[in-house]
Structure formats: structure tokens, C-alpha cells
Amino acid sequence: MITLSDLRSFGPYPSRVTTTVLNQVGHAMRRARLRHYLMCPPAYFDVAYSINPWMDPAGQVDRVLAVRQWSGLVEAYRATGHRVDLLEPRPDLPDMVFAGNGATVVDGHMLPARFANPQREAETALHAEWHRRNGILYGGGSVSQPSAVNEAEGDFAVLSKRILGGFGFRTTPEAHHELASLTGREVISLELVDPRLFHLDLALAVLDDERDHIAYYPHAFSQPSRRLLAELFPDALIANEHDAYSFGLNVVSDGLHVFVPSGARQLREELAAGGYWPISVDLSELIKGGGSVKCCTQEIRPSLVPARRAASLTVEVSSLVPDTASQRSAGGAS
């Protein structure tokens, strides 16, 4: 068994993470914003069942390698200034590493997942409990009860003022209405048609959530959804089939740094040409479970705290939360 304290023994990440040099000519100025992520170590990761086309229970899983690769992603986030909190894994839930599927947090509003498959149902309560205990960190804490099937950030992509919602395989259109009602944001529904790209985060990536710049693979969507994407995002980067099926769109971006699966080729070069800083991360072992960078990463988007309360809230939070150094020495667990 691999525990949270064991994660410190795997050493630094550079052997598993590489960067692509930026092209400084002819691109928009990109700006990174510090983010807050919730992740879960793959201490019990396994492919014990098949609930998507990438999972083969007859194959072999190298759990030590999975932890090494995942740890490289965590350290890459922290090296670029982002906060990473950890959710405690549970032995009977091998897919908990895919924390991006557990909840959606927008402006401090939190909607837990309601999974389509029974194998992952128990994860919902663990995510909900973490947010109840730690909501003060982002101005939240209240947990809504989902009534429709949704697989959280697997099928929700958050832009500056709107949200893109995928449906067709897991999340239902009714869940789009739930999230819109909770957040007060418009949710634009997009139909997925490729079973291998069963979640929106396998078919589309938000690169800049201030300027609403995205990348996507058109053939993952129905014809009406393709037309809508072309109309709404004329400057989007278009991924090819190779990069889409290599999980190349399952990225996390802070507006400048784009943490991209190492299998992506053309997209990585286009990101660099567009002024982004691609950071390639090898999560090949976790891909056996049907997920990569974005699937492992739940972004916690804070509420807009009124200015007159900001100072008092900062004091309140700092009295409850250890500093960064002590957090890391404790394994970052929450």
C-alpha cells in the first residue's frame, strides 16, 4: 500500500515533465493566474472493471509508476505557484485519482457529481465532505444535492462568464440546467458522439478562461455542436485525431502554462506558437483508466469576496490553514 507520506520519496519531477520553448512572435500576451486544485493520489489505482473504452481489466497496472507520474504533475503545479490540496484515497475506490470528476466549483458554488456508473458512486460523498470542511478556503462550504447525472469537470468547462456542458454519454442535459441555476451562469450544451471521447474534457480544453480561448477536436461532436463551436470560438485551436486520441486535449491551463499530456504532438507546437508555455506531463499509466491531466485535477474557483470582508476573511483563513512549507512537509493532505 502507498500512503500520502510515501509520496515524498519519489524525488523531483523533471524526468517526467518537459517544456516546449515559446515562440515570441505574433501571439497574444498570455497571463497566468494562480489556481487552487484538489487532487487525489493514485495509491489504490487499478483497472478492476471497464466503464469506458480505454479500460482493460486484463491488462497490468504499475501502481508505483502511476504514483511517480502523478507526483510529477503535482510538483509541476506547485513549481508554477499553484496550490494543491489532497483528498485521502480509499482502497475500494480505484478511480478516485480522477478527482476532476468529483465536483464542480464555480464562484464558490459547489455541485457534487452524480456518477453514471455505480462503481464510482461512493466518491461523491468523499468530495462533498471535503468541501464542507474546507469551503472557507474559497468562500463556499454549502454543498448542493445533485438530482441529475453529472460527472463534474469531466463534462463542464468553465469560461469567463459561461460554462460549456457536454452530454451524450455520461452527464445529462438536465444537469446543465442544475449548474446554471446554482451558479447563475449560462451553460451551453454540446453533444458528444465519439465513445472514445466520452467526456467533454477529452474533446475540448479551455486554454484561457479570461479571453475564452479554447482547443477542441471537431469530430468528437455532433454536426449542430460543431457549427456552434465554430461560431462561438472562431480563433480556437483545432486538434487532430492523433492528439485527441492521445488525451492531448485533457489539459489544465492557468492562462499561460498549459499542462498537456505528453502524447500530444501538433497541439503542443500550436500552443507554443500561440504564446502559451506547454508543459508536457507523462501520465501514461493513468491513461489505462481513461484519464489524464485534467481528469486528475479539480479546480476550485473561489467566490467573489466583497472588498470590505477580504481582510477579515484572510485573517480567519490564515488562522486555520498551515503555511505552504508546513503543508508540503505534511504531504499536502487535507
Q: By C-alpha distance, which of 322, 90, 303 is closest to 99?
A: 90
Cell 474557483 -> residue: 301
Q: Which three cell numbers stand for residue 129?
A: 465532505
Q: Is 232 helix (H, G, I), strand (E, B) or coil?
A: helix
Q: Which three cell numbers stand for residue 217?
A: 477536436
Per annotation, catalytic residue among 131, 213, 295, 296: 295
Q: What is d(CA 190, CA 280) in angstroms, rounded to the nearest whole number?
A: 28
**β pairing state of 103-106 and 204-208:** unpaired
**β pairing state of 163-167 and 156-158:** antiparallel
Per annotation, catalytic residue among 82, 199, 213, 257: 199
Q: What is d(CA 332, CA 86) in angstroms, rounded to the nearest whole number?
A: 6
List strand residue ranges (DSSP E) for 125-221, in order: 156-158, 163-167, 187-191, 204-208, 213-216
Q: Which three cell numbers stand for residue 41?
A: 493520489
* Pair 87, 62: CB distance under 8 Å: no
Please give the order of strands across the beta sheet that includes 187-191: 156-158, 163-167, 187-191
Q: Is 295 a catalytic residue?
A: yes
Q: Count CB-CB contacts under 10 A for residue 133.
A: 11
Q: Is 296 a catalytic residue?
A: no
Q: By C-alpha distance, which of 92, 89, 75, 93 is closest to 37?
A: 75
Q: Which residues are catalytic?
A: 199, 295
